[in-house]
Amino acid sequence: MEPLIRLTDLKKTYVNDGVETPVLHGVSLEIQRGEFLAIMGPSGSGKSTLMNILGFLDQTTGGHYLFDGEDVSTLNDDQLAAMRRTQVGFVFQTFNLLPRTSVLENVALPMMYDRVPPVQREQQARAVLRAVGLEHRLEHLSNQLSGGERQRVAIARALAGNPSIIFADEPTGNLDTKTGVDVLHLFQQLHRQGHTIVMITHEREAAEFAQRIVSIRDGKILTDTCDHAQRTGRFSK
């Protein structure tokens, strides 16, 4: 079966004031539907750049990126926006919720840009908030929530559009250990329900929650290990 994502010799070079800074030196990677994958590496390794390209926030400067069999390296700005709208959900380190806006509205936001009718939008938002255990917080404003709750709202928002894949960029970076573990368990639970999740992290402890770990350094893939059985055995309750 065709993988959801297939990267072939992906390269990315930033050009700033005529100075070229290569960040990715030929990354080849396949991600199957239903995988929970951690991309792990120290800062400066190129993992964020890789996620930005995978999440249609940035374009490659070389190599091929096939998403669901389609070459996306030639998409224009609006087409990239459409891909973000329909195919991916993002979870950020700093949550990036709209301030002074209700939980429900925050979660419904991506569906607004996807032209989902308001009534359906609210129903779907309620459903995903129930899935992340926040059904009692619907009308709270985002700034009235704790860090863990905020990140769960962000996860609900990522789920809301029913995307093909969820990208989480250091999702536990701003959380204490216990809350971080809760969030990671939530990802594992979503993974068991069939969601495809790619998590960027620099912490091995966080990466261990994933089913597969791709470690990256200096713009190249170092190791790619898949040890599903062991890790789920060790961390699941």
Partner 1 sequence: MLNALDGSVNNMLTRDLLTTSVTALRRNKSRSALTILGIVIGITSVILMLSIGQSAEGLILNQVADLGADLVFVEPAAGDPTAGPPDPFIEQTLTLDDAEALEKSPYVAAVSSTLTSTLTVSYQEETQFTSINGTDHNYLEVFPADILYGRFLGEDDVKSYARVAVLGLEIAQDLYGDQNPVGMKVKVGDVSMRVIGVLDEQGTRFFQNLDDQIAIPVTTMQRDVMGLDTVNYIAMVAVGDIEMVKEEVRWVMRDEHNIDNPDGDSAKDDFFVSSQSDAVEIIGVVGAVLTLLLSSIAAISLVVGGIGIMNIMLVSVTERTREIGLRKAVGATRKEILQQFLVEAVLLTLLGGLAGVFCGVVISVLVGVVGAQLLDGWTISIPVSAIFLAVIVSTVVGVIFGVYPARQAAKLDPIDALRYE
As a 3-state breakdown, the chain gives helix, strand, coil percent values, each rounded to 5, of 40, 30, 35
Q: Give yes or no for residue 17 binding partner 1 (CB under 8 A).
A: no
Phi, psi of 162, rounded to the nearest 5 degrees: 55, 60
Binding residues for partner 1, rule CB under 8 A, total 28
Nearest distance, CB of residue 115 and partner 1, angstroms: 6
Q: Give yes or no for residue 68 binding partner 1 (CB under 8 A).
A: no
CA distance 196 to 9: 22
Closest CA to 102 of 142, 130, 136, 137: 142
Q: Give yes or no for residue 13 binding partner 1 (CB under 8 A).
A: no
Instruction: Using CB under 8 A, pick the residue from 98, 123, 176, 223 that binds partner 1.
Output: 98
Q: How far apart are the first and last CA of the chain?
A: 32
Instruction: Using CB under 8 A, pick the residue from 152, 157, 212, 231 that binds partner 1.
Output: 157
Q: Give yes or no for residue 58 binding partner 1 (CB under 8 A).
A: yes
Give the H or E element holding residue 122. Answer: helix 118-131
Instruction: Choose between 84 and 191: whose C-beta lies nearer to partner 1.
Output: 84
Instruction: Choose between 96 and 189: whose C-beta lies nearer to partner 1.
Output: 96
Instruction: Using CB under 8 A, pick the residue from 92, 131, 141, 173 that binds partner 1.
Output: 92
Instruction: Using CB under 8 A, pick the residue from 90, 159, 184, 190 that binds partner 1.
Output: 90
Characterize the bridge pairing of strands 220-226 and 165-169: unpaired
Contact between 217 and 42 (Cβ < 8 Å): yes
Instruction: Choose between 200 and 213: whose C-beta lies nearer to partner 1.
Output: 200
Instruction: Choose between 18 and 99: whose C-beta lies nearer to partner 1.
Output: 99
Task: Detail the DSSP E strand segments found in the chain.
Answer: 5-16, 19-31, 36-40, 62-67, 70-71, 88-91, 165-169, 197-201, 212-217, 220-226
Instruction: Choose between 75 and 181: whose C-beta lies nearer to partner 1.
Output: 75
Instruction: Using CB under 8 A, pick the residue from 41, 46, 110, 171 that binds partner 1.
Output: 110
Q: Give yes or no for residue 162 binding partner 1 (CB under 8 A).
A: no
* Bridge partners of residue 90, in order along the sequence: 167
Q: Give yes or no for residue 237 binding partner 1 (CB under 8 A).
A: no
* Bridge partners of residue 67, in order along the sequence: 5, 70
Write out the residues near partner 1 by the rule CB under 8 A: 52, 55, 57-58, 77-78, 81-82, 84-86, 89-90, 92, 96, 98-101, 109-110, 112-115, 118, 157, 161
